[in-house]
């Protein structure tokens, strides 16, 4: 999983999307697959007690049985249609879809990956760039992530976001972001927000994501009491010192991989087409 890319990719998509789209919806979409499922991955810590923690977080978080279907393309499509039917707002529906798909694809880069084509196949898709390490707990995961290509991945997203400074400007926010989304007007009326506060709210998640990168990297490499043994390891799939999540729900042969991929891709494509033809285009036509 990514520690900060989900926060930063929302600004990148906002900048490069030519259609009318809600930034807030993109952000919520980027968080959607983990929004109601992440707590049992690390557990709830109360003093010395750890509650609501699953024994095999990789299976619970990304697998089936488990909440792995939240990291699938069809889940994002159905969630988008449900929201479109509820609020009838195209800018929010498009933003939710974009953000959700970005999250699902981003999580393919760790060693566990995601079930992109669920429910037609439970095949996981992963580049194995860094080790999935939630089983090591929050601090163990942070150390593993920021001692490997995971940290590099976050720094790349930070550089991409900073590379488009226009998206953070006051003029861009009030000329592009606010007019595309009635939620900003509602927030202003409901809570009496000034323009400066609204702009600060918009920029806040970038600041939060950047602070997470530098804060956790400093902890992992300079303050971590285990840093003598939990060393930097920029090998593919590293670090080698962390307990690796086992490979699950993956084909044993390339033939099996391509067969499952073909079944899954066709199933999702046909289902998506049917959802659009039978439901989606009517909801889109009625939306504003």
Q: Rounded to an integer, what distance in angstroms lies between the CA atom of residue 65 and that of residue 6?
A: 25
- Angle formed by the axes of helices 195-218 and 182-191, to 10°? 100
Assign 223 to helix, strand or coil. Answer: helix
Assign 50 to helix, strand or coil. Answer: strand
Query: Which tens digits make up the pLDDT trace of 91-134?
Result: 999 999 999 999 999 999 999 999 999 999 999 999 999 999 99
> What pTM does this model have?
0.94
Query: Which tens digits make up the pLDDT trace of 251-281?
Result: 889 999 999 999 999 999 999 999 999 999 9
Comparing CA positions, the residue from 82, 84, 103, 101 lying closest to residue 93 is 84
CB atoms near residue 283 (< 10 Å): 19
The burial of 48, by beta-carbon neighbours within 10 Å (0-12 exposed, 13-18 middle, 19 or more buried), is given as: exposed
Q: Which residues of 105-137 are buried (b: 16+ CB within 10 A; e: fewer)?
A: ebbbbbbbbbbbbbebbbbbbbebbbbbbbbbb
Query: Which tens digits make up the pLDDT trace of 18-29?
Result: 889 999 999 999
Q: Which residues of 173-204 are buried (b: 16+ CB within 10 A; e: fewer)?
A: beebbbebbebbeebeeeeeeeeeebbeebbe
Check residues 100 and 15 and name the one with the higher pLDDT.
100
Q: What is the pLDDT of the chain when averaged over all its residues?
A: 94
> Does 48 have pLDDT greater than 80?
no
Residues 68 and 61: beta-carbon distance below 8 Å: yes
Q: Which range is least confidently modeled, 10-14, 77-81, 260-264?
A: 10-14
CA–centroid distance for 74 within its chain: 15
């Amino acid at each position: 999983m990514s520690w900060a890319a989900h926060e930063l990719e929302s600004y990148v998509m906002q900048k490069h999307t030519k259609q009318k789209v809600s930034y807030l919806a993109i952000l919520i979409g980027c968080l959607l697959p983990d929004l109601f499922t992440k707590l049992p991955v690390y557990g709830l810590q109360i003093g010395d007690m750890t509650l609501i923690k699953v024994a095999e977080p990789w299976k619970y978080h990304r697998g089936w049985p488990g909440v792995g279907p939240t990291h699938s393309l069809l889940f994002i499509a159905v969630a988008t249609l449900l929201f479109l039917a509820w609020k009838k707002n195209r800018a929010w529906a498009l933003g939710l879809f974009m953000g959700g798909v970005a999250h699902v694809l981003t999580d393919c880069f760790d060693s566990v990956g995601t079930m992109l084509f669920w429910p037609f196949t439970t095949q996981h898709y992963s580049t194995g760039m860094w080790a999935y390490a939630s089983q090591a707990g929050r601090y163990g995961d942070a150390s593993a992530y920021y001692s490997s290509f995971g940290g590099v991945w976050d720094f790349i997203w930070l550089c991409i976001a900073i590379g488009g400074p226009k998206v953070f400007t006051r003029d861009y926010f009030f000329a592009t972001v606010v007019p595309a989304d009635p939620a900003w007007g509602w927030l202003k009326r409901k809570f009496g927000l000034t323009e400066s506060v609204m702009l600060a709210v918009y920029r806040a998640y970038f600041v939060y994501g950047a602070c997470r990168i530098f804060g956790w990297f400093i902890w992992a490499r300079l303050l971590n009491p285990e840093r003598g043994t939990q060393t930097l390891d920029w090998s593919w799939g590293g670090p080698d010192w962390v307990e690796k999540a086992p490979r699950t729900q993956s084909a044993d042969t390339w033939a099996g991989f391509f067969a499952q991929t073909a079944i899954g891709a066709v199933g999702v494509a046909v289902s998506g087409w049917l959802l659009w033809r039978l439901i989606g285009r009517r909801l889109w036509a009625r939306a504003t």
